[in-house]
Structure 1
Amino acid sequence: MTNINAIRTQLEAIVSPEVFDFETDEDFAQSYREQRKTFLLNRMKLQAKLMMIIGLTLTAFFMWVNEGIPQKISAFKIGLLLEFFIVVCWLLCKTPLARRYLDIFFLGLCWSVTCTIQIFTALSFNYVEPMTNIWNLMFITQATIIPVKWRIHLIGQVGTMVCYLGLYTIYKPKFQFLISHYIEQGLYLFWTGTICVFSVYLYEKLKKKEFRAKRELEIAQEQSERLLLNILPAVIAKQLKLQPTTIADSFHAVTVLFADIVGFTELSSRTSPAELVELLNQIFCLFDELAEIHGIEKIKTIGDAYMAVAGLPNYRSDHALAIANMALDMQKSVIEFNKQNNLSFQIRVGISTGPVVAGVIGLKKFAYDLWGDTVNTASRMESHGIPDNIQICEATYQLLKDKYLLEKRGLIKIKGKGEMMTYLLQGVK
């Protein structure tokens, strides 16, 4: 039942676009935060380089427009200090500390441009006029280059204003312009900051949805890939995706196994369908685990019959040995299953070795299947076999006789094939 529920969950994940909730899935949220962290760090490095170039151009401009030597020196000092802090931020962004304290480095890069100049000019020249042009330039630059974490943008802007108000409180400068000028600059600054923060908020909300959609698509593709691999061998699934046509390959030497649960048909007459399917599923899940352990390809189940093959789609020289080991383990697993569930199931196993044709045919509900006389012989070995025994044909016997205990059953009449020499596999020597 566990296997059935797992398949149902996988199918629901594929058809339902709202299975994964970003807000409740911590792993999902963590992966988004990691991606955003990498994005933010790379963009801060880019912004630092850009701000260095902008700082050089502004410094050169102010040195050019100022005529007096003292003014040129002052412009040079301010530019040098600005470049120093930006370079420090840029170098620190290359260290492991930056990834750990991204928010602090973001604010440091912001305030190194807005607050540093304001503090330096206040200390050096008692000049406390608000440098709204530089502030606006910084806010817009960060919003366009680093459009994530709107709260940090807001903190950066508020921190700049708090720094200025602190300087204003200390120096208490006289207004050099009309009050309308300051109101105008304040409105420009307010709306620039508001638009920047709002645009960052909307952009990150959009990116979060895109990231969620991308992850859900990736997960759905992974799940559909797993479902496909549950139906087809990996090699065949890849071939079918690249070229969706009829696939038919010949294999000269493989070993095919058929196993049937004895008395299952009679049991169905006195057991509810739900209980019957549950028992069958538990037994076949045990067989699937054995196929995985022994590296054998499960082909299909037909009612209460189980079919598997060794030696394809990837060739292996020990195909007969692998099937023999699995058949012996299947007997043991059924015995253990009976003990745990107080039941008395028996299995009949038939094995045959030889050439087969394997492939995928049809347009809908396609499945990987086998054809050929070897398949028919394996089926007859099972149907003409003895409960709790493993019957093999002559070809398989020749491959196993040196390493396994085999009992000669003798000639038996096989439907459609006449008399055939058969053997019973009893164990490993």
Structure 2
Amino acid sequence: MNKLTQQDKVQDVMSDSGKQSNTEIIAQSLKKRHRKENRFRFAGKMAIAFGFLMVSILLLDIGSKAMPAFHQHWIKIELQYNTQWLSIDSSDADQETLYAGDYRSVLKNSLYEMFPEVSGRRDKRDLLKLFSSNNEFSIRDQVLAEPALLGQTVSIWVLADDDVDTYYKSQYTPGKAGGRINDKQALWLDKLYQNGQIESRFNTLFFTNGDSREPELAGIKGALTGTLLTMFVTLMISFPIGVAAAIYLEEFAPKNRWTDIIEVNINNLAAVPSIVFGLLGLAVLINVFGLPRSVPLIGGIVLSLMTLPTIIIASRASIKAVPNSLREAAIGIGASEMQVALGHVLPVAMPGILTGTIIGLAQALGETAPLLMIGMIAFIVDVPGGILDPSTVMPVQIFLWADSPENAFLAKTSAAILVLLVFLFVMNFSATLLRKKFEKLGR
């Protein structure tokens, strides 16, 4: 009995030690698993932080380069509306006569009066280069609006040339040359600056002017208007067709070989390079149907063809996610298939449909290649008034400015990118509001 008791005690001790070792092994395994999970979570957080850091650096770089484009320098001069310089008889001057006046001579002679020390032909050319070439037209508009200015001497603010603007924004040293400003021009500018005749203002021309060869006159109004018109055409074509196709394929189409072929082709179209759609627009819409080049209508049609597969795929996924119980409940109270699809399924699926639509439109908003093929790379100065007027779009405008040699266009390129990003943010914000509204209706 004593031996058995001692053996039992030994076995109990051994079993207790075995249990303890198994517990320690399990605890160590759990610790190792937790360490792996923590490392994985840390790696995920670092990846997100790195992504945010890169985006922040990109936005800061674009923003820092864009800031100079939002302010511009103006010069105050004493302008003499001399009728002899204008070649106008003030006694019987009508609007047509005033329009044909020699306003460039008025500007030149007024500047020569302000700088009597400028005598040489070359120096006079250098003096005129300090002022924008558009100032004579601004002076003409002032005279047309107020003919009583004839014969008077008035202090007015005129736009500085882009070389002067760049000089003050980046390389300004009082009285010293910099950039494309020589020593004499720097002394003349310093004289004006000391007299308080040069000031920096918010650049409203950037938002109110169309494109121009002169950097100080170039603006985004034409490209922004063209973008809005093109996106409007794209939305009006792609959204109803894409949603209707998705509803038919999910709710009404029979499951057979033909629908399988359609689904495969839709998925393939989503992966087709965008320039192929541009070639399609060039070959069919312009060469076959004879539609005009470089208009928002053609651009909208081409971009809608490119956007349709994305909208259809996203809409089908959203419709498929609607519970069948909702369809069965609607059928149970006597609703037809059309009423079920349009009155019950579509409102519930609309948040996902809107998300897919915005993704497709955002992709179309940044496209350049298909629009280049249909001629929207043309130099367009006038602001389009409709979908059949020649125009360009913001991505193409950015592309054109980025290829320009003048330094002032670098800031305008970055500023246009910021405006495009703001436009994209507004689109997404509007989609979020609409999505929340439809989510409330779906409940």
TM-score by length of 2: 0.22
Task: Give the structure with the higher percent helix.
Answer: 2
Higher relative contact order (CA 8 A, sep 6+): 2
Structure number, greater radius of gyration: 1
TM-score by length of 1: 0.22
Task: Give the structure with the higher percent strand.
Answer: 1
